[in-house]
Structure 1
Amino acid sequence: MVRKTFDVKSGVPRHLVGRQGGGSMKMQKRVLIGIAGCLLLAILVGCGGQAATPTQQKARVWRVALVLPGSISDQGYNAAAYNGLMRIRDRFGAEVAFSEAVPIAEFEETFRDYSEQGYDIVIGHGYEFGEPIQKVAPQYPKTTYWCINCDVSGPNYTSLLHQNQEGSYAVGYLAALMSKTGKVAGVAGFQFPVIVQQMEGFKLGARAARPDIEVTVTYIGTFDDIARAKEATLALISAGNDVIFHIADAAGIGVIEACKERKVYAIGFAWDQNVLAPETVLTSTIIDFEKMMEEAMEATVKGEFTMEIHRYGLSTGVVRLADFHGLVPEDIAARVNQVVQDIIAGRIQVPLISEPTP
């Protein structure tokens, strides 16, 4: 097995050949040690031979692990969570570790491995982690589990759930106003409730802007297959769709590539993806996983974190739209920004629709 570790100071990956510690985990793991761990060691040893005080000896280094369904190099969903983990490391001095591209069959094993190692918090990044967390959490009552984009909670586990149907409504409104053909589309990975809710929000926003707009959503059954996403997008473009929104993680790169090649507009997901195609990506629905995870960690450190489901919409700043990068006419931009403000103020309520509609 090839094991990848990370040099904290330089940030340069180092590839080491060997067995994974314990011999039971069948996955890649990267372990990153926070600077605070080194500072704590220095305190305990003491400066100039002086013994550490009782207060210094009680300083706590939190141990936080992140389990990802995809790669941190996906330029989207998984990369955003990885950045959130790095913020926890840097701000709180935590010892952190992560596992990427973990198969569904190994979710429970991965959670158990981190729990056995004594990690304080184990995070599953995605709706699909909800059931495994519910199974594993009761076996490790001293470990806290966060499930991002889930809707589950219990004595030692809870969910950090974005309300991106609000952001999706706003970009649906934008897509309809920017379309010249009267046809817009969405490309999404799987029909998970949290994904469907966003695509249904996109439909509602588009139809609010133009009741006669045609909206098509295609679920491609992958978050990783760039070629499949590109093929599906090209088919949508051939059918006349000229603004396409994606919620497809790494596969979304294929959506943007197709739009760029065929000179139609794309709308990105999770972070500002305009950098991937500056003349193509109108905006993106940003889900600030870094802010979400940082706030949860801050509450944990203060002893204020609760096991209720934590929800984050446009009003929290976790969900927001990226810049329009000069691609959107001022009058349309003003109308979309007003829609965002109306959602924040509660004048527009975007419902949660968890089953696909026509």
Structure 2
Amino acid sequence: MSQPTQKSKGGSHRRLLSRMLVLTGVVALSAPAFLSEVAHAADETMRVGVLIPGSKTDKGWMESGYDGVVAAEKEFGPKLKTQIIENINYADMEQALTNLASKNQLVIGVGGQTQAAVLKIAKRFPNVKFSIVGGSKGESMPPNVAGYDVKQAEIAFVAGAAAAMLTKTNAVSYTGGMEIPSIVNAGKEFGNGARYINPKIKYFESYTGDFDNVAKAREATAAAIAQGADVHYHILNLGLRGLEQAAKEKNTHVIGSYTDRCGTDPLYVAYSITGVGFQAQYAIEQLEKGTWQPGYKPFGLAMGPKASGIAVCQSTPAMDAKLKQIEQDILSGKIKVSEG
């Protein structure tokens, strides 16, 4: 009696297995449509990688770029997923960019110092878009790379004019990091702007060779102060800490860069706005709209006050009018400034 029962169970198992196979087949047939919907939903999430070579809390270029990414995150909410790598030295940039490019649709390099590595890595990832905040015009770019020129030389000229109006000793200084064309041109035009207001003003210019070297920035600023400078401008990252230390010790003042923070620190008498964050946010907005374009794009004064401008913390109507006229003369070509 036991054998027929086993056959019955075996038949039951075969029928159950048959039904399971039929059901599995139905699921299999419907799976592509279901998976395509999931894939479509995933495609609607923007994936953006950001390389910040310095510190995102440097009160300078890097923090401004980071602020722009944060603004985009608030603008797009869960639609935007970001991956940020910060504090990367030059030797490790290619590896960091490779990491970002393998996981994201758009990669943003915050700073012209990322350009050489971006141009190299972009060729290996032709389907990934790359935007360089602070990209220069000189080099030809692959068809998946955009270079956004903040045109620091323009606003440095205006900052120099403001410094000449603010100084009490008729002496001003500029400290740059790496001695690369865009940083050197900014220093040159800061001096030109100061002399535009006062041809006899003393101007001291120095470079530390490193945007983040606090000790060298402090030393350079102290040397300028010893020669009479009482208003200081810069293109530095963490090196700004050294400039601030020297200025505080001798009761001199600073014109900050990148973002208007008037009222937050009495050490600062003005800020130049160079739109680093504006450009980072711009790149992400263009990706979302489907209007992202490769190639060189100049920003600067022509793109409006969010991209470039000057904020004097305790200004006068006459000073504001003079600085506005200088901006207009730069835009019209009446005042010629360097590229970059």
- Shorter-chain TM-score bucket reads 0.7 to 0.9
What amino acid does structure 2 have at the position aligned with 1:240?
G
Structure 2 contact 45–81 (Cα < 8 Å) conserved: yes
What amino acid does structure 2 have at the position aligned with 1:168?
A
Aligned 1:317-328 pairs, distance under 5 A = 317=304, 318-326=306-314, 328=315
Matched, 1:106 2:92: yes
What amino acid does structure 2 have at the position aligned with 1:64?
V
- CA separation in 2, counterparts of 1:180 and 1:291? 33
What amino acid does structure 2 have at the position aligned with 1:200?
K
Structure 1 contact 285–319 (Cα < 8 Å) conserved: no
Match of 2:207 in 1: 219
Q: Secondary structure at the match of 1:270?
A: coil
- CA separation in 2, counterparts of 1:228 and 1:351? 26
What amino acid does structure 1 have at the position aligned with 2:165?
L
TM-score normalised over the length of structure 1? 0.77
- 1:260, CA displacement in angstroms? 2.7
Name the count of aligned residue pairs: 300
Q: Secondary structure at the match of 1:194?
A: helix
Say if 1:303 and 1:330 are closer, same or farther in 2 by CA, change over 3 A.
closer
Give the alignment partner of residue 131 of structure 1, picking from 105, 116, 119: 116
Structure 1 contact 256–281 (Cα < 8 Å) conserved: no
- 1:241, CA displacement in angstroms? 1.2
Q: Which runs of 5+ in 2 are unaligned?
A: 1-33
Moved more, 160-169 or 144-153: 144-153
Give the alignment partner of residue 247 of structure 1, picking from 225, 235, 239: 235
Match of 1:350 in 2: 337
Structure 1 contact 256–277 (Cα < 8 Å) conserved: no
Matched, 1:294 2:281: yes
Structure 1 contact 163–319 (Cα < 8 Å) conserved: no
Aligned 1:336-347 pairs, distance under 5 A = 336-347=323-334
Structure 1 contact 229–254 (Cα < 8 Å) conserved: yes
Say if 1:218 and 1:78 are closer, same or farther in 2 by CA, change over 3 A.
same
TM-score normalised over the length of structure 2? 0.81
Moved more, 301-310 or 175-184: 175-184
Matched, 1:176 2:164: yes
Aligned 1:16-55 pairs, distance under 5 A = none
Q: Secondary structure at the match of 1:211?
A: coil
Q: Secondary structure at the match of 2:130?
A: strand
Match of 1:95 in 2: 81
Give the alignment partner of residue 64 of structure 2, picking from 80, 89, 99: 80
What amino acid does structure 2 have at the position aligned with 1:189?
G
Q: Which runs of 5+ in 1 are unaligned?
A: 1-50
What amino acid does structure 1 have at the position aligned with 2:99?
D
- CA separation in 2, counterparts of 1:284 and 1:178? 12
Match of 2:133 in 1: 148
Q: CA RMSD in A?
A: 2.4
- 1:67, CA displacement in angstroms? 0.9
Moved more, 261-270 or 339-348: 339-348
1:287-317 CA distance string (max 9 Å, x none)? 2223222222222222222112111011212
What amino acid does structure 2 have at the position aligned with 1:308?
G
- 1:57, CA displacement in angstroms? 4.1
Greater CA radius of gyration, 1 or 2?
2
Q: Secondary structure at the match of 1:146?
A: strand
Structure 2 contact 153–190 (Cα < 8 Å) conserved: yes
Say if 1:103 and 1:351 are closer, same or farther in 2 by CA, change over 3 A.
closer
Match of 1:39 in 2: none
